Structure 1
Amino acid sequence: MATNYVKYAQLITGKSNYARRMKRLSNKIFGEVATPTNATSLKVVQMFESRPLHTNEEIIHYYPRHIETHALTSKLREYGLFRDEHQDFVEEMKRLRALRGKVKVWRQKPDGEKNE
């Protein structure tokens, strides 16, 4: 003897108008695509089904910790274990300016004047 569920499953898999309408209703109830759709429309459906980006931890914490990374690399540079070519270039330009006698002197303004 077939149970009611088996009868229902057999009825849904049929090709009748009733079976198509019941399948569409079932898909609507369970949040699936109700009518047959092409692949591009299914991509839109999957996009709306996916988790919002602002709640995704991998998206929120994507960028590394810049301050800690900079402090670590500068300390490693002092020990000679890391080579920062940009900082080497900046220091070399300062050294060459000092050799030419073109060192910038920063003067502090008196307290009454505004910095412009």
Structure 2
Amino acid sequence: TLIVWILGGFGTWLIGNIGARPGVESVHIGASGLIFGWLTFLIVFGFFTRRAWQIAVGVVVLFVYGGVLWGALPGTFGVSWQGHLCGGIAGVIAAYLLSSPEREARQRRKGSTLPSIPA
């Protein structure tokens, strides 16, 4: 949550009003960036960890709530698609960062199965 909150908020701050009509301000309020971050986290975390049950959870989440991801694209003026997009990107980054112990353990296991080369 902290990763999505900080990175998503920072990204929204960086690109805040891009794509808005002149004189129209986007509204960046609410927890939608956080929701998009959680959604993308659940969808991709299993792919980073390569665990079947986590991938299954991600696929279920994608089918149930995946249509919401269209909100990360410009559409309705005045709605913060920027917050949605940055929250989603932050969710992917959070999944990558939080899966690193499992990815490193997989690399160690993979490396230990290789025969050692005599010097």
TM-score (norm 1): 0.23
Counting helix residues as a fraction of each chain, which structure ranks higher? 2
TM-score (norm 2): 0.23
Q: Does 1 or 2 have the higher relative contact order (CA < 8 Å, sep 6+)? A: 2
